[in-house]
Amino acid sequence: MSNIPADTLRARDVMKSAFDVVDGKLTVRQALAQMQHPETSVLVVRKRHADDECGIVLLADIARQVLAKNRSPDRVNIYEIMSKPVLGVPADMALRHCARMFERFGIGHAPVQENGDIVGIISYADMVLHGYR
């Protein structure tokens, strides 16, 4: 990626394409047990039906809403702590616009979408580490 100038990089160029998708009815402990890609720091919560929207849970959400409040991860369901609907990023969005969108809406992670499907996860770290190396 270092051959591509930072001003022409797109979300798809720096996103993490391996991420975890879970059911909102799982407990926090069950969802974490299923997690295979902790480096993304994100759980995408799948839609319950065609007219629903995806959700997102950051590991930081679990720390703030479960761990810090001394709640049992066996008694808290993912749907209780998820953010929904989630703000997605088009796969072809330029990184500079993606960073501006993150700043404007106060987010640090977002699903990358292409043709209505989530194809990856992008974060500030992905943008900086891959955009300027």
Q: Output the DSSP codes for 67-107.
A: ITTT--TTT-BHHHH-B-SPPPEETT-BHHHHHHHHHHHT-
Q: Indicate the number of domains in the chain.
A: 1
Domain that holds residue 40: 6-131
Name the pTM for this structure. 0.87
CATH number of the domain within which 95 lies = 3.10.580.10
Closest CA to 11 of 110, 87, 116, 115: 110
Tell me whether residue 115 is in a domain.
Answer: yes
Instruction: Give kind and range of the element (H or E) at residue 59.
Output: helix 59-62
Residue 88 is assigned to a structural domain of this protein:
yes
Domain contains 99? yes
SS3 assignment, position 121: strand
Residue 3 has pLDDT above 70, yes or no: no
Among residues 117, 121, 123, which one has the least CA distance to residue 47? 117
Inside any domain, residue 1: no
Cα(83)–Cα(73) distance, integer angstroms:
17
pLDDT tens track for 80-127: 999 999 999 999 999 999 999 999 999 999 999 999 899 999 999 999
What does the alpha-carbon distance between residue 80 and residue 24 come to, in Å, rounded to a whole number? 8
